Amino acid sequence: MTNTANRKTYSSIEMNKTQILIGFAALLLGTLVYIIDRPPGDTYFVSNSSIPISLHSRLPSLFGAVGNSLPDFIHPFSFILITAGILSCGKRGCIITSLAWLVVDLGFEFGQKYKEFSLRFIPDWFEGIPFLENSTNYFKLGTFDILDVSAIILGTVLAFIVLIITIKKMP
């Protein structure tokens, strides 16, 4: 029985590897925006890297104006695909996953618009914890942009379409 359960889990993840790979490929593209087009001090993982990974001053801008909102497109797109792929979602699960990531990403974007409100919910104990320690600066220094909202919605819709196209029926 355990062997059957293990095969089912393996085959479920195997069945959705296309979704997972597309999601990770998109994340890689998004990472290039931060490494090439953005100054290293503007990005938490670039400025806090133990090795100098920024190519900002060494290469010309790769993404141009599109690079301003491209991460807002890529984030929901990639995380929806990765999440649904790992969970081996059916159509209903794809809808729930897409809506959940849409809410998360829009929450962060609108959190930048309503800074004072958002900052009240960040606990003091986030200080000193990698990634979480940047939460205050994200909301305090971040700027709301309606183009980012549009990119988030477009990324969500496109991810859902890709999920539906790549979904495989359970045997």
pLDDT score for 59: 85
Residue 171 counted as domain residue: no
Could you tell me if residue 55 is inside a domain? yes
Say if 46 falls within a structural domain. Answer: yes
Range of the domain at 48: 2-166
Q: With respect to residue 37, please indicate whether it lies within any of the assigned structural domains.
A: yes
In a domain, 103, yes or no: yes
Indicate the number of domains in the chain.
Answer: 1
User: What's the pTM?
Assistant: 0.84
| pLDDT tens track for 110-166 | 999 999 999 999 998 999 898 898 899 899 999 999 999 999 999 999 999 999 999
Mind spelling out the 3-state secondary structure of 64-122? HHHHHCHHHHHHHHHHHHHHHHHHCCCHHHHHHHHHHHHHHHHHHHHHHHCHHHHHCCC
49 lies in a domain? Answer: yes
In tens, the pLDDT along 86-125 reads 998 899 999 999 999 999 999 999 999 999 999 999 998 9
Write the burial class of residue 5 (CB in 10 Å: 0-12 exposed, 13-18 middle, 19+ buried).
exposed
Q: Does some domain include residue 57?
A: yes
Average pLDDT (12-40) is 87
Cα of 21 vs its chain's centroid, Å: 14
CB distance 80 to 105 below 8 Å: no
Contact indicator for 151, 67 with CB cutoff of 8 Å: no
DSSP 142: -
User: Nearest Cα to 104, choosing from 146, 69, 140, 155?
Assistant: 155
In a domain, 31, yes or no: yes
